Structure 1
Amino acid sequence: MPGGKGMATRTSTGTGTGTGARAGRVPWARAGLRWVHLILGGALLMPYFLLAQVVVGVWSGRGNVFGSTVLTFASYGLSLPLAAVTGVFGLVRPMSAGAVRALCGVPGERLAEGPARSWAARGRSSAWWTLHLGVGAVISGMSLAVPPMAVVLIVLPFVSGLRRTPLGLGWFGTGAAPYLAPLLGIGLLGGLVLCAAGAGALLARTAPVLLGPTGADRLAAAEERAAELAVRNRLARELHDAVGHALSAVTLQAVAARRVLDSDPAFVREALAAIEDTTRRTVGELDAVLGLLRDGDPARPGAAPAPTLAADLDGLLARTRAAGSTVTVHLEPGPAGNWDRLPAIASREAYRIVQEGLSNALRHGTGPVELWIAVRDEKDGTGSTDRELEITMTNPPGPAAGHGPRTTGGRGLQGAAERATLLGGRVEAGPHRGLWRLRAVLPLGGGSR
């Protein structure tokens, strides 16, 4: 046990006696818990054993099955298939795994979580259930029968009356035999301890094999983990794009307003109005994202709708210009028509990509920004029409960026690339002809032939 070793190491600088006693108790405590686990298995087999007794008693014509050793073992043998049948139920595995974690000292990561779903997992759970109950019944029977017999043998030399009782101990009643009885009693107790310890160790080694995760369990866990990571990445992208852009815009708007506070009051009022609008919209978007994080329902009543390219591009450009940046926009709806005809998900992701591009231009760039947004219909080799939304943004790089890659941040561009990839598109960002260029292509689906 790691905890036990760590404790022993820390206390070895103090009293060595306490350390040795603590380390010595750990294996015995573990063996004791495994013994309890075996006794529990024996108790769980009792209903099956009693049912098997009835069946064997009816079949043999004898009401008292315990009067015959053969019939008793026959009842035990019949109870195991009955236990195996009930072991295929899905809830047997989590119940058994919980008992193994608590009593057998098997690490939880080596055992499967949740009910058994596949028949392969059910079969392994049934095998474990049968093994646990069968071995547990044997150890339980020994634990009931051996200690009283051992006690009788140990005290036999000191109680003469026991030698005359009809217990089958006549051989120990004469000569030096009574004085050998305690050794046999102690041997029986030692044998019981060894059998219980060996059976407990066997179950502890077998549990990960029969109760461990199957390939289907590992695949399900991996899919669940991937889904969880996808949700977390989505939330991270939304928070970064919404809050990051707002903070960049508000900072630049406040700086611009402070510089012309005395000379251009009209610009200051415009900048303050833009700051107010930006913060109000960002609070609404933040509330929507936190609502998704809290209860997984992005469409709950009162939640702010996600911004889209068709509905919110003009406001985004106005807030960016209020920060003192010059943004020139070229819109080419193309044969596909106006922006309202864009698919909703493509319009949302395109808005976030444009927002991230403008945030990068505000933080890292200098000079004017040029933005091209075009919807194009192109025919492929089969004559089908493929529609694509192309977003291109260029601006002069900042003095620190030069013509190399930007090394600060990077999460926003990564998020933009992830957004495009989810739609089957792509994003390219980097130096291009002396400018910094962000280019995104989002497929909009096929059209007609």
Structure 2
Amino acid sequence: MRPLFGRRARRRWLHLIIGGALLMPYFLAALVVVGRLRPDPAPFSSVSHQLTAFACALPMAAVTALLAPARPLSVAAARALCGVPGDRPLADGPAGTRQARVRTAGWYTLHLGLGGVVSALTLTMPPLAGTIMALPFSRSLRESRTLGLPEVMDRPWILALLPFAGLAILVAVACCAAWAGALLAGRAPVLLGPTPQDRLAAAERRAADLAVRNRLARELHDSVGHALSAVTLQAGAARRVLDSDPEFVREALAAIEETTRRTVGELDSVLGLLRSGEEPGASEMTGPALDALDGLLKHCGVPVSCAVRGDTGTVPAAVSREAYRIVQEGLSNALRHGGGGVPVELRITVRAAELAVTLDSPLPERAAAVRPGGGRGLRGIAERAVLLGGRAEAGPHDGGWRLAARLPLRTDGQESR
């Protein structure tokens, strides 16, 4: 009996009853129109008028379901009462495309049509079944002129079968409700499920979320990674000359203080964006740019000869920030793999259409140990350049190591990345 009267069957039955209630305004409006077109002294008791009004009410319901808010309401009711399988998700949000609205209209019409039929059966059949089941036990009921029963109903074998007939009617109503509920549950993922456009929009949102996460991860990697490399090297050098060169120790401690203060500020900015839970726009991604390059080179922990050609003040903000991070990551790699005494040559050239960044450093005599989880710096540099429409390359060059990046200066659509 569980498929007919279990919890899921009862919830689906309630869902159908709600559909019948929603059908009533359309049905009454259609009944009024049909009554004017086909005059009848008693339109509410005319079966032909009611069937015609029912047929006219469904298209009216379908038209109203074309409105965008209809899908969220239908989805909420289906999730709560219809028992849709969990592996077949329903769509979220208003219907934004024509296909989604048409599917929603189909679902709404099916829900109200089946709900109207089941509601009518629920209202009429139980009293009829109760009356039939009571006939064997009530002579006055059998002799009632209102019912107008034939004399054959007084035969004993017919009276013995009447309770079973009434019970069969109730079971038939339950079967109809269970079938209609199962039909709605089966069609819900098709009519209320995500359309191809919905799936594409969801994929684009996931891709945008991943892009933001990768962007923030690059910011943390470049800022914190560079700071830790510089601080580690400077602290180690200060420890070795602690007794013999106090002046160098003071300079190293000052550099460590400046590096950590700057990095904490950058870390707070990135973590603030993470806590907000919103995608950072160009104005929110405020970080150091090329105008802060002097402070970076002064406290980076390696000797750097820097040559700047052109006016870096004309470089767009997004390009300037990314160029700063590229230089920072290049210096971190030189510091990490070559140590503090490795000289680095940095060249920044501002041309009419692009910004070129070139960083040369000698290769270490022996390969540096690979850090667990490391190796993302060069990939992050390449990603930064690609997002701006440029390119970056890194590899051996003339007996040393060269990092070269070319970033276009056009900013159409890039400030929002």
Which TM-score applies when normalising by structure 2? 0.89
CA distance in 1, matches of 2:248, 2:90: 66
Match of 2:111 in 1: 132
Q: CA deviation at 1:271?
A: 1.1
Q: CA deviation at 1:83?
A: 0.7
1:38 aligns with 2:16: yes
Contact 2:330/2:359, CA 8 A, preserved across alignment: no
CA distance in 1, matches of 2:41, 2:274: 65
1:427 aligns with 2:392: yes
Match of 2:155 in 1: 174
Match of 1:329 in 2: 305
Q: Which amino acid letter does the alignment assign opposite residue 321 of structure 2? A: R
CA distance in 1, matches of 2:45, 2:372: 86
Select 1:375's aligned residue among 337, 349, 353: 349
**In the TM superposition, what whole-angstrom CA distance separates every residue of 1:216-244 from its partner, at most 9, and x where no partner exists?**
21221122222222211111111211122
CA distance in 2, matches of 1:342, 1:162: 97
Q: CA deviation at 1:173?
A: 2.6
Q: CA deviation at 1:145?
A: 1.1
Match of 1:229 in 2: 210
1:155 aligns with 2:155: no
CA distance in 1, matches of 2:371, 2:382: 15
Segments of 5+ residues of structure 1 without an aligned counterpart are 1-20, 378-384
Identity among equivalent pairs (%):
56
CA distance in 2, matches of 1:372, 1:275: 22
**In the TM superposition, what whole-angstrom CA distance separates every residue of 1:277-332 from its partner, at most 9, and x where no partner exists?**
112111221222233334456788xx9952112x11111111113xxx3x232415
Select 2:312's aligned residue among 339, 363, 378: 339
Q: CA deviation at 1:44?
A: 0.8
Contact 1:45/1:79, CA 8 A, preserved across alignment: yes
Given the superposition, is the C-alpha separation of residues 56 and 141 from structure 1 closer, same or farther in structure 2, using an over 3 Å criterion?
same
Given the superposition, is the C-alpha separation of residues 353 and 304 from structure 1 closer, same or farther in structure 2, using an over 3 Å criterion?
closer
Contact 2:362/2:399, CA 8 A, preserved across alignment: no
Select 2:358's aligned residue among 379, 391, 402: 391
CA distance in 1, matches of 2:195, 2:84: 17
Match of 2:34 in 1: 56
CA distance in 2, matches of 1:305, 1:164: 91
CA distance in 1, matches of 2:318, 2:256: 28
Match of 2:324 in 1: 351
Match of 2:251 in 1: 270
CA distance in 1, matches of 2:69, 2:373: 52
Select 1:117's aligned residue among 96, 104, 108: 96
Larger displacement relative to structure 2 (141-150 or 25-34): 25-34
Q: Which amino acid letter does the alignment assign opposite residue 429 of structure 1? A: A
Given the superposition, is the C-alpha separation of residues 205 and 318 from structure 1 closer, same or farther in structure 2, using an over 3 Å criterion?
same
Which TM-score applies when normalising by structure 1? 0.83
Given the superposition, is the C-alpha separation of residues 375 and 46 from structure 1 closer, same or farther in structure 2, using an over 3 Å criterion?
same
Given the superposition, is the C-alpha separation of residues 421 and 26 from structure 1 closer, same or farther in structure 2, using an over 3 Å criterion?
farther
**In the TM superposition, what whole-angstrom CA distance separates every residue of 1:322-372 from its partner, at most 9, and x where no partner exists?**
xxx3x2324151xxx232232322221111011111112222334514233
1:246 aligns with 2:219: no
Match of 1:258 in 2: 239
CA distance in 1, matches of 2:228, 2:131: 85
Match of 1:189 in 2: 170
Q: CA deviation at 1:407?
A: 7.5
Given the superposition, is the C-alpha separation of residues 408 and 45 from structure 1 closer, same or farther in structure 2, using an over 3 Å criterion?
closer
CA distance in 1, matches of 2:111, 2:267: 53
Match of 1:282 in 2: 263
More RCO (CA 8 Å, sep 6+): 2
Contact 1:31/1:197, CA 8 A, preserved across alignment: yes
Match of 2:297 in 1: 317
Match of 1:93 in 2: 71
Contact 2:312/2:350, CA 8 A, preserved across alignment: no
CA distance in 2, matches of 1:304, 1:193: 61
Given the superposition, is the C-alpha separation of residues 265 and 71 from structure 1 closer, same or farther in structure 2, using an over 3 Å criterion?
same
Q: CA deviation at 1:388?
A: 4.2
CA distance in 2, matches of 1:272, 1:47: 80
Given the superposition, is the C-alpha separation of residues 398 and 213 from structure 1 closer, same or farther in structure 2, using an over 3 Å criterion?
farther
Q: CA deviation at 1:406?
A: 8.1
Match of 2:415 in 1: none
Segments of 5+ residues of structure 2 without an aligned counterpart are 412-417
